[in-house]
């Protein structure tokens, strides 16, 4: 099983090597902005690392986009941004583009959010579909999120499952979102048939807190590191830490996961 890290976009492979990672995730544009990605300065090196199998690459889409939104001025640019990031991620050989599940507002029927997701996939299908897997990530907070509670995730998959989307399970988000980690992988497999990527994060906050503050695995008071190990073991897929990196925290998390998964 590969263990990776979310690193700075400037030079992802150097960042990955420094952390002892063999998978790497990064942004291709400002995560808080709406700008289309431009050619990565290390594009050739990234493509080669992906093609040779030295690294698995994952691209995280900007946080601002929301494919579920009932607001045209958010939903329409979100579709465009996902398409642009999917093209750019595929161009460097990434295995998937991670997109958060999104949300509607309290005034909306959440089914409209699921229908909006379907329209995004339908729109992409008209031009041959997305050029790489879209990995939908569960989120931690909010009462109107499409992928916080797994019962909503099931409704989302009812809407889009026939397009073959992928799933990214974030341990911090599931725990703080109020889903028990012990049963999470089995339940999600029952819903989606797959878990493609684990975001292996500790949490500063408690169960069902609705908060989203990632922590290093040794610094996660309520979400036990061993639970994260069990999730990765059950999922049997690549895991990426999105934890703080002060004092080499990510390298420590990766080393811990490797050691526990090997035993
Ligand atoms: Zn995540």
205-248 pLDDT, tens digit each: 999 999 999 999 999 999 999 999 999 999 999 999 999 999 99
- DSSP letter for 162, please: G
19 CA distance to ligand 1 middle (Å): 18
105 CA distance to ligand 1 middle (Å): 22
243 CA distance to ligand 1 middle (Å): 9
199 CA distance to ligand 1 middle (Å): 5
Distance of CA 228 to the CA centre of its chain: 15
206 CA distance to ligand 1 middle (Å): 17
Enter the tokens of residue 151: 């019962």
**Cα 195 from Cα 113, distance rounded (Å):** 22
- Asked if residues 150 and 192 have their Cβ atoms less than 8 Å apart, the reply is no
- Asked if residues 92 and 27 have their Cβ atoms less than 8 Å apart, the reply is no
Nearest in space to 254 (alpha carbons), one of 8, 23, 12 = 23
Write out the residues surrounding ion ligand 1, Cβ under 5 A.
170, 199, 242
170 CA distance to ligand 1 middle (Å): 5
49 CA distance to ligand 1 middle (Å): 23
237 CA distance to ligand 1 middle (Å): 15
100 CA distance to ligand 1 middle (Å): 8
197 CA distance to ligand 1 middle (Å): 10
Give pLDDT, residue 263: 85
36 CA distance to ligand 1 middle (Å): 21
The low-confidence residues of the chain, meaning pLDDT below 50, are: none
137 CA distance to ligand 1 middle (Å): 7
Give pLDDT, residue 124: 97
Place of tokens 């991620």: 89
Give pLDDT, residue 75: 97
| Residue 238, C-beta contacts closer than 8 angstroms, at least 6 positions apart | 1, 2, 3, 4, 23, 56, 58, 95, 197, 198
| Residue 213, C-beta contacts closer than 8 angstroms, at least 6 positions apart | 172, 203, 204, 205
């Amino acid at each position: 099983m590969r263990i990776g890290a979310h690193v700075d976009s400037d030079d992802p492979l150097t960042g990955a090597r420094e952390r002892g990672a063999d998978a790497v995730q990064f942004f291709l544009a400002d995560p808080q902005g709406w700008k289309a990605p431009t050619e990565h300065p290390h594009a050739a090196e990234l493509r080669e690392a992906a093609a040779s199998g030295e690294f698995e690459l994952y691209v995280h889409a900007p946080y601002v986009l929301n494919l579920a939104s009932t607001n045209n001025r958010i939903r329409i640019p979100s579709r465009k941004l996902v398409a642009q990031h999917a093209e750019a991620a595929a161009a460097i050989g990434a295995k998937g583009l991670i997109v958060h599940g999104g949300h509607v507002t309290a005034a909306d029927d959440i089914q409209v959010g699921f229908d909006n997701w379907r329209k995004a996939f339908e729109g992409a299908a008209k031009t041959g579909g997305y050029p790489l897997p879209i990995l939908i990530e569960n989120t931690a907070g909010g009462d109107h999120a499409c992928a916080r509670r797994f019962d909503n995730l099931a409704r989302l998959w009812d809407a889009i499952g026939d397009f073959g989307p992928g799933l990214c399970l974030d341990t911090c988000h599931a725990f703080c979102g109020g889903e028990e980690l012990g049963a999470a992988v089995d339940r999600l497999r029952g819903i989606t048939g797959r878990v493609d990527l684990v975001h292996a994060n500790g949490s500063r906050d408690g169960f069902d807190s609705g908060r989203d503050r990632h922590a290093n695995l040794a610094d996660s008071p309520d979400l036990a590191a061993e639970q994260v190990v069990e999730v990765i073991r059950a999922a049997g897929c690549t895991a990426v830490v999105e934890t703080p990196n002060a004092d080499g925290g990510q390298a420590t998390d990766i080393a811990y996961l490797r050691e526990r998964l090997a035993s």
